[in-house]
Amino acid sequence: MLPNDVADNYRTYAFRQFKKELTHLSRLHWIFQFGVRSVCQSLDVGNVSNGDHLTTMLPVSGFESKRLNISAGEFRNGSDRYIEHLRVLLLVKACANMEGYIHRIAHIWAARNGYFDGKAASGIDVRGRALIKPAMVSNLKGSLEYLQTLLGGNFGADLAVCTEAYQLRCIAAHNGGVVDRESAKAFPQFGSVIGEPVRLGWSELKQYLRAISAVSNEIERAIPSRHRVHGEVALIATELVKFREIQPDDVDGVREILKSRMKFHRLPGRSFIAGVMGTKR
């Protein structure tokens, strides 16, 4: 068993990986923007004319110039558009990551609430799968509303922001990022730009990422720490066996992976892990 003071501070591996990915998305945005601004600055300092070929005037060692057949003027004029397009793609990725986290946390909840089945493909028995099915849909609004009820959490105004983020994600995924009449109904501000690409500023993307992050925090808080750790360890242990990373009776091997690779600082006892693996200890 876990000591109570340690268990209260537990954050799931799924949560930690999700938060890491959110950080990477934000960093990718700023790395890209830094690169674009640096190129534009170099073009201006070097008095490069708009008609000059970009990679001829700014050669980069190891870069295949033919892969970027663009003039300096095209790059200058399109730089803001490139960044806006990247932000839309980052939003799509953030929503996908959130869906993955929701699906995993639903399984963790089910595993700790009496629906664990180590022989089932998902680790959850048929009753549990039926119970968490509404959280498994590819729709942040529906899955989050259900999860809020299931866990007894309160996502507050962040739920509406996540819903809006998902609606934008759908425009990007299904319309190629181009505003159509249906999109304009959901987002009246797009009414004057039907047929044009969605433009997403940093302030908007930041708002969506903040809401997604805040909701994940509330999800973690809504499930008791001891339930999170036991449910997640049960799933991971059986998955390691199913994926043939660990022999069915290698309890110490599971513990080593949890500690060294996944950075679990405290774990349930060997008897618990042995039990979910179907091994008597």
Query: What confidence category does residue 2 fall into, taking pLDDT thresholds of 50, 70 and 90?
Result: very low
Question: Per-residue pLDDT averaged across 227-243, rounded?
Answer: 92
**Comparison of pLDDT for 175 and 64, the residue scoring more:** 64
Query: What confidence category does residue 42 fall into, taking pLDDT thresholds of 50, 70 and 90?
Result: very high
The residue length of the chain stands at 281
Task: Report the pLDDT value the prediction gives residue 3, as an integer from 0 to 100.
Answer: 42
Task: Report the pLDDT value the prediction gives residue 8, as an integer from 0 to 100.
Answer: 55
Handedness of CA 125, 128, 130, 136 (dihedral sign): negative
Task: Report the pLDDT value the prediction gives residue 6, as an integer from 0 to 100.
Answer: 43
Asked if the model's pLDDT at residue 170 lies above 70, the reply is yes
Report the distance separating Cα 42 and Cα 48, nearest Å: 8
Structure tokens at 44: 């201006």
Query: What confidence category does residue 7 fall into, taking pLDDT thresholds of 50, 70 and 90?
Result: very low
Task: Report the pLDDT value the prediction gives residue 278, as an integer from 0 to 100.
Answer: 81
Identify the weakest region by mean pLDDT among 95-109, 165-179, 185-199, 260-274: 185-199
Task: Report the pLDDT value the prediction gives residue 35, as an integer from 0 to 100.
Answer: 95
Question: Per-residue pLDDT averaged across 204-222, rounded?
Answer: 95
Cβ proximity of 107 and 132 under 8 Å: yes
Model confidence pLDDT, tens digit, residues 115-149: 999 999 999 999 999 999 999 998 899 999 999 99
Number of neighbouring beta carbons within 10 Å of residue 203: 7
3-state secondary structure at position 33: helix
Task: Report the pLDDT value the prediction gives residue 161, as an integer from 0 to 100.
Answer: 96
Question: Per-residue pLDDT averaged across 237-266, rounded?
Answer: 91
Report the distance separating Cα 228 and Cα 148, nearest Å: 16
Query: What confidence category does residue 173 fall into, taking pLDDT thresholds of 50, 70 and 90?
Result: confident
Question: Per-residue pLDDT averaged across 110-116, rounded?
Answer: 95
Task: Report the pLDDT value the prediction gives residue 39, as an integer from 0 to 100.
Answer: 95
Largest CA distance in the chain: 75
- DSSP labels, 116-167: B-TTSTTSB-HHHHHHHGGGSSS-HHHHHHHHHHHHT---TTHHHHHHHHHH
Question: Per-residue pLDDT averaged across 66-76, rounded?
Answer: 93
Q: What average pLDDT is seen over the chain?
A: 89
Question: Residue 169 burial by CB count (10 A; 0-12/13-18/19+): exposed, middle or buried?
Answer: buried
Number of neighbouring beta carbons within 10 Å of residue 256: 12
Query: What confidence category does residue 192 fall into, taking pLDDT thresholds of 50, 70 and 90?
Result: low
Query: What confidence category does residue 232 fall into, taking pLDDT thresholds of 50, 70 and 90?
Result: very high
Q: What is the DSSP letter of 115?
A: I
Report the distance separating Cα 236 and Cα 216, nearest Å: 20
